[in-house]
Amino acid sequence: MKEEKAKFTWHYYGMALGALMAMLAGTLGSVGGIVSGVAFAILCHPVIKFQGVGRFIFLILFMILYVFAFPDADVVREMMSGTQ
């Protein structure tokens, strides 16, 4: 009895990237970054029937939102140094 294995496609790399993005945003307390990372991971799931150019455009939009979701570099440095 052989069971078919699911193909390991780009979807799984995208889902892992979205999860990593959300975890990084969580360390800095960026709620917008967490939402963008989770949305990126969900949108990359292979079962979702949303395919083609529309999916690609939304993935790019979530990446752009993710980049701009973080606070200024000075705020991040202050958070990481522990001085407030």
- What residues does each domain of the chain span? 10-75
What is the number of alpha carbons within 13 Å of residue 41 lying toward its C-beta?
Answer: 14
Tens of pLDDT, residues 38-61: 999 999 988 888 888 989 999 999
pTM over 0.85: no
Tens of pLDDT, residues 59-82: 999 999 999 998 888 887 887 787
Give the span between the Cα atoms of 84 and 78, in whole angstroms.
Answer: 7
User: CB count, 10 Å around CB of 25?
Assistant: 21
